[in-house]
Amino acid sequence: VNAPTRYAELRARLAEITDLERASSLLAWDQQTMMPPSASAVRGAQRATLAKIAHERFVADETGRLLDDLAAWAEGLPYDSDEASLVRETRREWEKERRVPASLREEMTHASSEAFAVWVEARRSSDFARFVPALQRNVDLRRRYIDCFDVEEPYDAVLDDFEPGMKTREVRDVLGRLERGLSPLVAEAREREVDTSFLRGDFPVDEQRRLDALIVSRFGLREGAWRIDPTEHPFATPLATTDIRLTTRHFADRLDGVFATMHECGHGLYEHNVDPALERTPLARGASAAIHESQSRLFENLVGRGRAFWRWLYPEMRRSFPELARVDVDAFHRAINAVTPSLVRVEADQVTYGLHIVLRFELEQEMLSGRLPLRELSDAWDARMKECLGVDVPDAARGVLQDVHWALGLFGYFPTYALGNVISVQLWEKARAAVPDLDAQIERGEFDALCTFLRESVWRHGRKFPPRELLRRTIGGPDPDPYLRHLAALVS
């Protein structure tokens, strides 16, 4: 075998698969932003076709033959070379995907698209019982999926889809320490009165858009390589390192949109800054869901809810929204960091957010192990909300039906949100050490040094390394203490 030739063949094969996946992402982005609504049914079929063809090509025997032919050659190359990384990561992914029969995968896709439709209706009428059979089907199929793998405990298999190589016991440890640290902070926060009244008011959407564009370009997405559009739920879709699509939402009576924009911009910056040499390979993505989330949270919370940032932007903000004239920057900063236990995860503050995740992580394990009959899920949810956050859940729509994940069959995803928060603060501490005058720079609206640090330590590598290895090279491993210290400062 001529390794360079075979490697070129592998790259060409993976480039085509990546093209199909990106085209599929464009179909999805377009569906949320541009598509005329009548086209939904056909669009669903189009997306399913592209996903199927990409998957077929990836799991094909020929991919395996290429990997076999390249195994010895790749092992002789430096671990962090592009070539060794592509062969290693493709092999890992290929072996994993090959374990799942195509028929099961199709059943899962079909069931989740049906469950999604049921969930929409059930949430509208706040009727959990209606959702139970569809959820049961998703859970049953997910159990069959888990059976395809040799794992210590069932949850390992679903977690691995989002955090390759991470074990449930590690998550349990981190989230356990997080929960123990958060409970006293929540209690402390309850004692504290923060005026947030001025976050509701008259905030013209055009001005919000102008500020968004200013922030995104200052954060460092290069001109001509991104766009931002309004959607009901904000998201980031990279179609190439040179084509980052962000979405956000604006309400004329509140300022939440700017934080959604910064969050999505963090996701976008990550894939925008992957080494261009990895373009059109499966490595031109983020390393894992948690590491992706660490970037979005870093820009949303550590930059975007920080005092330094608002010292820079607040004068501009006041020009846009004259009614903020009566509010000084410190009051504004306190308000956007206020802590109040609430019902809905996506609206939760930084301190209580982690408890929403702990609850979901526990319930998911119980659902997948069968310890919790699904008909009891709603009551279990409500009881734990009361216990963890002290809030009464008035209806299923604002309770167990609030998130789309389980309807889509996404189990194992929720913990990555909390891990992302944890990792974001660890990286932030490293960035502060690397850039001693970081606060001063941010107060001047300068983000270059921060981005250089993140590019060198995280972004440029894309998905070359498993998350554990990437973290080993930067922060060691997930540790909730820095995050807890950051939160403690918010409520003190």
Choice between 26 and 449, CB closer to a copy of itself: 26
Minimum CB distance to a copy of itself, residue 24 (Å): 8
- Minimum Å gap between C-beta 227 and a copy of itself is 6
Q: At what angle do helices 256-272 and 289-297 cross, to 10 degrees?
A: 130
**Least distance from a copy of itself to the Cβ atom of residue 231, Å:** 14
Q: Which residues pair with 228 in a beta bridge?
A: 246
Laid out side by side, the sheet with 243-248 consists of: 226-230, 243-248, 236-240
Cβ pair 467, 165 in contact under 8 A: yes
> Per the residue annotation, which of 170, 264, 271, 364 is the catalytic one?
264
327-339 burial, b for 16+ CB within 10 Å, e for fewer?
bebeebbbbbbbb
Cβ nearer to a copy of itself, comparing 218 with 333 = 218
List Cβ neighbours of 366 (8 Å cut-off, separation of 6 or more). 372, 380
Rounded to whole angstroms, the Cα distance separating 461 from 85 reads 10
Question: CA 12 → CA 63, 151, 179, distances in Å?
Answer: 11, 33, 47
Could you tell me the smallest distance in angstroms from the CB atom of residue 170 to a copy of itself?
Answer: 36
Residues engaged in binding a copy of itself (CB under 8 A): 15-16, 19-20, 22-24, 26-27, 30, 34-39, 41-43, 45-46, 49-50, 52-53, 222, 224-227, 239-244, 279-280
Q: Which is nearer to a copy of itself, 30 or 362 (CB)?
A: 30
Q: For a copy of itself, which is the closer residue by CB, 231 or 457?
A: 231
CA 211 vs CA 257, 280, 323, 337, 442: distances in Å: 10, 33, 16, 20, 16
What phi-psi label fits residue 370: left (phi over 0), alpha (psi between -120 and 50 degrees) or beta? left
Which amino acid makes up residue 51? A
Fill in the DSSP letter of residue 300: I
Alpha-helical (H) ranges within 126-234 are 128-146, 154-160, 168-190, 205-219
Specify the 3-state DSSP secondary structure of 344.
coil
Q: Is 264 a catalytic residue?
A: yes
Question: Does residue 208 contact residue 256 with C-beta atoms inside 8 Å?
Answer: no
Sign of CA dihedral 262, 265, 267, 270: negative
Residue 361 Cβ, how far from a copy of itself at the closest point, in Å? 37
**Nearer Cβ to a copy of itself, position 22 or 360?**
22
Residue type, 166: M
Query: Of 37 and 76, which has the nearer Cβ to a copy of itself?
Result: 37
- In the complex, the smallest distance separating the C-beta of residue 251 from a copy of itself, rounded to whole angstroms, is 24
Query: Which residue, 82 or 243, has its beta carbon nearer to a copy of itself?
Result: 243
DSSP state, 96?
H
Tokens at 327, concatenated: 């509010």
31-38 contact pairs (CB < 8 A, 24+): 32/231, 32/232, 32/233, 32/235, 32/247, 33/229, 33/230, 33/231, 33/245, 33/247, 34/229
Contact 416, 293 (CB under 8 A): yes
Tokens 């996946």 label which residue? 21
Which is closer to a copy of itself, CB of 44 or CB of 176? 44
Euclidean distance between CA atoms 484 and 271, whole angstroms:
28
Tell the smallest beta-carbon distance from residue 50 to a copy of itself (Å): 6
**Who contacts 99 (Cβ-Cβ below 8 Å, separation ≥6)?**
148, 149
Which CB atom, from 38 or from 197, has the smaller least distance to a copy of itself? 38
Catalytic positions: 264
